[in-house]
Structures are given as structure tokens and as C-alpha cells.
Structure 1
């Protein structure tokens, strides 16, 4: 295959963004050929915006059976991701799915099973994995340059969202429409990076989610979580959509030094002698290991969404390794599910998370949710499929 014909399902904010960079030719060996938008009024608008060689469908079955696409980008509301992906795999299509892969981990496992059965490529739109700064931190951690990880702190409170943002669609910030708040909408990238860079998942977590603390919503808009790892390392994760000005500060400490990423800059303080060795040999009473501030070369630029799509296409055409394979969708989502469940149970949650217990508690909240699909007003904001 020398070219991948791509169809986009869900042509709202993100779907339109994907369509635009594909039309501009930003992704080599890829061509936009189809859009799926089930709302007829919006589909007519799309027909006027896109060239004639991009077919706009309103019927899902017709889209999948058209023979016009080799791969799809799924950019619909979260709950739709799984069934659409499974249908695409059943039609022999490759799938690139927007974050989060699903609302709960059991869903994502089903997606991966369908992908494996189909033999098609399954990737996720974890575009922040293309950031060379996070790539470098991952390298420093997994190569052992930082030594054994002892502590991780991430304050990520610059996800500010106003009440008018939440009011722009009845599905937003509801258990039935979105499946959660800041953890499922804004923070999937951070939760993914957390586990991807370290290569570790916690053994247990204790979280405190506040639901509708700053906004008139039914889901979480503030979270503080504390996690523990098998090797004794700890992590603290703090996020909110109700704080201004916000902070984005990631600090990772190992027994050979510390890295801080903040304000688009990485600072690396390297110990000349690993702390355990210094502690074992030093006999001078007060004292600390000699520390050097090291200039770390950051090579490349963040390619974001087009970069993930390019990697997806190259996997299909040339067999390039995926930067964000579908299997990884479970890990970051499991952190999110664990934080919800810990709050609902008012207790520690062990990993792997009890998926059935999580789903049981989620279903209780879905039943009392204010969102009803029949009265959805998502069209103007996110589009439908």
C-alpha cells in the first residue's frame, strides 16, 4: 500500500482539525476521502466546506461499506469509541482513536481484542508523546540515568474551563454523556505520559475527587491522588479545571538526581555519586551529595496530532513501530478509573483495578445523570457521527 485513504468519524472540533491538516497534505502518504456525520443539517454544511473528492456520509453502514477508506480516525464522544472501532475492525479497516480510548478499561480491552482478531493497526491520539521533552525524560528514566525512581509529583492545574464551556453541550461533564470530568476529558494525556515515561504502574492509589466543586457539573473538577509503587516510590497527582492561573509542573526524583519540567523547560540536577552510595560512605555528619545541573539536549519538535497520524500511516505502509499503540489505552485509563473508584469507596484501590466493581459504580451514576441522549445538544460543539 503506497497511500492510506482516511475517513473521519465525528467532524466536530477535533474531527475538523484532523480533516484540515490532512487536506493540507501535512501527512505523507495519506489522503482524506470521507467524513461520517449523521446529522443531515451539519452534513450539508460539511459538503460545502470540503472538496468534491471528500465524500460526506450520514449513514454509518454506507460509510463502512463504501470502499472509500482504508483507515478511520474516530473523533466522537467517548462512549461511542468502542463500538465504532469494533465495527471498523470488522470491516477490515485500520483505526486511530481520539483520547481517551474509552470510559472504562473493560471497553478498551474489547477494542484491543477486536484489533488483534482483525490484524489491523490500532493506534491512539496520544499526541503529547511526540513532545521531545517528554521523550527525553522517558529516556532518562528508562535508561537508568535517574537511577531508581523515588518520587513523582505532577501539578497540572492549567486545564481551566469556564461554566460556559460546560454549558456548550448537554453531554459535557456528565456521567452518561462523557463518563467523567477532568480525568476523562482534559487529563488523559497526562495520565498516559505518567505511566509511559516511567514504565511503571502503581501497586495502589488513594484519591480524593471533588465533584462539581467549582462548576455546576456532576463530575469531578478537582482531584488529588497519592500512589505507591512496588519499589517504595510514591507519586502525587493534582489537577483541576477551576483554578487560574494554573500550573504545569512535573518533578521526578530518582536516587541519581532529579528532573523538573515547567514552563516549557527541562532542568536536570544529576548527583555525582548516587544517593545510596553517598549515604553509605559519607562520615561527615551534615552533608549532601555533590550535584551538577546538567544541560540536556532536546532534539526535534513536537509534531502533535499530525505526528501521531503520520506514525499511524507509516505503520500501515512501512511497518514503522507505533508511538501510541492501542494496547497502551488501558494503562492511563486505569489510573483514571482507580481515582474515581478510590473516591467512591473512600478507600485505597489496588492495581490491577477491579473492572467489574468500577463499572458497577459507574452505572449507578449514569442512571442518575442529567444527560439524556434524546435531548443532546452536542452538534454545535463536537459534532456527531
Structure 2
């Protein structure tokens, strides 16, 4: 079965991830693309032999579409996803899924009401080193998990976004949050996935210190506590100017796991008995590599539609990861540890 796909938003995430990965999937026909910048839409349409639109509502009304990717500024994720779901279309939405818990609930409700898939584009779960680490943790080889630290940072979206320094990423009314929404929510989702545990408390410090002329965060540090009592830190930054950091360290009773921390080995297991196991599992996707690596997000989304299965990161999962970021904002505003159990 060939699925007709549309991509709404033709910026960098669509250009380097969604469109080429849809094109590589033999079960997909890219039928339409949409961007308010007409030239951008036309260029993508020409490259993928699709029809160009500047109004997504017109696209949904005119085209026979099975599914869409929503690759838009954060404040548009919920309304556009809901419109697509109400039009009877499956939705893959970029992260963060929404700007509030209420928006997330409306997206989930729309998917359920219309019997359509809603998947959130958290790609960290599909990284080989992360999946292997989850296997080791589940097998008991690491023992009880005591702590963790996870970080995601680079020099900022101006080097990645289609609009550079003028990008919506730096405009609070469109982005809602900065590095936490761009990068931190990925790591919130990852650590939940690895530990198979939910977080109950968060304390945070959030600053705008590296980027001038913006009021969104560019440096964030979170302290998290899980239901099982595991504590750890999460950092998100647009100020890692020399090199991207996408590493995670898990500290366990029997071993320490170093993920994406060693330049040669994507996973290093250091056991308490002195044994060290190094895994070569392939490179993590990076902004620098464009289409040389795959996120596996697109293929998983298409498979979930074809097989009528629940996507690994459905709306509920996306909401739980978003809740950590929302809780961090509350912690900053109140200058208190924030309880996530009320979300």
C-alpha cells in the first residue's frame, strides 16, 4: 500500500529529515508540500515531484492525503495537527508537541476521536546506542540505577534553521521556549525511555546568556527525581560553540553506561569488576550530517499506519516528556522544586 504524504513546513527539519526520509521509503508518495514562503514550497515541490501550497488548510481540503508531517514553529504544532487529524489524516508532529498541557490533551483527543495516529518526532529512542543501553538496563546487567546525567547542546539554531539568525527559534511568541524545547525535551523523552520510569519532581535553572536579542532560554539545567528514587541532571544549551554534545551517562549498581560520549564507540559499558565493553553501533544523527544518517522516525510512523499499531512515541508519551519541560518552567518561576505528579 502506497501512502500519500504531505509535509507542512519546508524549513530545515523538513529539508534534511522528513522529506528525504519519506522519499527513501518505498511505501510513500510525497503528494504535497506547504510553506508560507512560496519559494520554499515550490523548491521542495520541484525536488520531490509534489504539489506546492502556501495554505495548509487548502492542502488538506484539496489533496487526498493519508498522513502529514507538521514541521512548523512550536506555537503552530497543536492547531495544525488538530486540523489535520480532524480532516481524517494521520499526523507526525515535530517536538515539542505543544506549548501547554491543554494543547497536548486536545491533540490526543482529536487523534482518538478521529481514529488516527498521532506520533511525536522524538528521534533519540531510535538511536542504536540508546536501544542497546535500554536492553542492558532491562536485562539487569547494570543493576539498580542510582543516577544519570544527560546533555544536548550545540552552537544554536542559527547554524541549522532555514532563516538563520532571523529564525522563529529566537522569537518567544512563536517558539514558546528555546533550548529546552529544541533540545531538552528530546533528552527528557530519552531518559524516560531508558529508565522506564516517570519523573515526579524537577528543579531548574534557565538562562538567556549566550544569544543576544532574544528572550527565550539558551542554557538550561534541570535536576530530576523519578518515582523509583533515581536522581539525575539534564542540560540543554545553544552555547556549546566548539562541539555538539549529545551524551548520556547512566550510573548503576553494577556498571556505568556512557552513551554517545566516546568519539569512537557509541556505547561504553564500564563494569564495577573492572570489565569494559565497547560497542560500535553507528553514528547518532547529527545536524552536521544532513541525510547521511537516518532518524528511523519516518519509517516507524509509516509502519504504524500500515500495521495499525500504536507509534512508540504517541501523544501520551509526547505529553509526558513535555510535562517535564513545563515543570522546569514552573520551577524557575516559583524558585521551588516542582511536583510533576500534578500534571
Same fold (TM over 0.5): yes
1:205 paired with 2:202, answer yes
The alpha carbon displacement at 1:43 in A equals 4.2
Mark the CA change 1:8 to 1:177 in structure 2 (over 3 Å): closer, same or farther.
same
What is residue 15 of structure 2 aligned with on the other side? 16
What is residue 77 of structure 1 aligned with on the other side? 73
What is residue 331 of structure 1 aligned with on the other side? 320
Contact 2:210–2:238 under 8 Å retained in 1: no
Which of 144, 147, 164 is 1:151 aligned to?
Answer: 147
The alpha carbon displacement at 1:35 in A equals 1.3
Mark the CA change 1:105 to 1:156 in structure 2 (over 3 Å): closer, same or farther.
same
Contact 1:97–1:124 under 8 Å retained in 2: yes
CA distance in 2, matches of 1:63, 1:43: 12
Number of aligned residue pairs? 330
CA distance in 2, matches of 1:173, 1:111: 25
1:28 paired with 2:29, answer no
Matches within 5 A, 1:224-263: 224-246=221-243, 247-261=245-259, 262-263=261-262
CA distance in 1, matches of 2:13, 2:283: 25
What is residue 293 of structure 1 aligned with on the other side? 276
Matches within 5 A, 1:106-185: 106-157=102-153, 159-161=154-156, 168-169=165-166, 171-185=168-182
CA distance in 2, matches of 1:351, 1:162: 29
CA distance in 2, matches of 1:193, 1:10: 25
CA distance in 2, matches of 1:330, 1:267: 31
Higher relative contact order (CA 8 A, sep 6+): 1
Q: Residue 239 of structure 1 aligns to a residue in which SS?
A: strand
1:318 paired with 2:339, answer no
Mark the CA change 1:11 to 1:350 in structure 2 (over 3 Å): closer, same or farther.
same
Q: Residue 187 of structure 1 aligns to a residue in which SS?
A: helix
CA distance in 2, matches of 1:126, 1:33: 24
Question: Where does the alignment leave 5 or more consecutive residues of structure 2 unmatched?
Answer: 286-291
Q: Residue 207 of structure 1 aligns to a residue in which SS?
A: strand
The alpha carbon displacement at 1:182 in A equals 0.5
Which of 324, 330, 337 is 1:341 aligned to?
Answer: 330
Contact 1:212–1:219 under 8 Å retained in 2: no
Describe the superposition over 1:133-152 as per-residue Cα deviations: whole angstroms up to 9, x where unpaired: 00111122233322221111
The alpha carbon displacement at 1:238 in A equals 2.4
Contact 2:183–2:236 under 8 Å retained in 1: no
CA distance in 1, matches of 2:192, 2:28: 30
Question: Where does the alignment leave 5 or more consecutive residues of structure 1 unmatched?
Answer: 272-289, 355-385
Contact 1:7–1:33 under 8 Å retained in 2: yes
State the TM-score, normalizing by the size of structure 1.
0.77
Mark the CA change 1:194 to 1:215 in structure 2 (over 3 Å): closer, same or farther.
farther
Describe the superposition over 1:83-140 as per-residue Cα deviations: whole angstroms up to 9, x where unpaired: 1111111111111111221122321122111111111111122222221100111122
Mark the CA change 1:90 to 1:305 in structure 2 (over 3 Å): closer, same or farther.
farther
CA distance in 1, matches of 2:113, 2:340: 27
RMSD between superposed Cα atoms in Å: 2.7
* Higher mean C-alpha displacement, 62-71 vs 318-327: 318-327
What is residue 270 of structure 1 aligned with on the other side? 271
1:102 paired with 2:87, answer no
Contact 1:73–1:95 under 8 Å retained in 2: yes
Q: Residue 340 of structure 1 aligns to a residue in which SS?
A: helix
The alpha carbon displacement at 1:41 in A equals 5.0
The alpha carbon displacement at 1:47 in A equals 5.0
Q: Residue 236 of structure 2 aligns to a residue in which SS?
A: strand
Higher Rg: 1
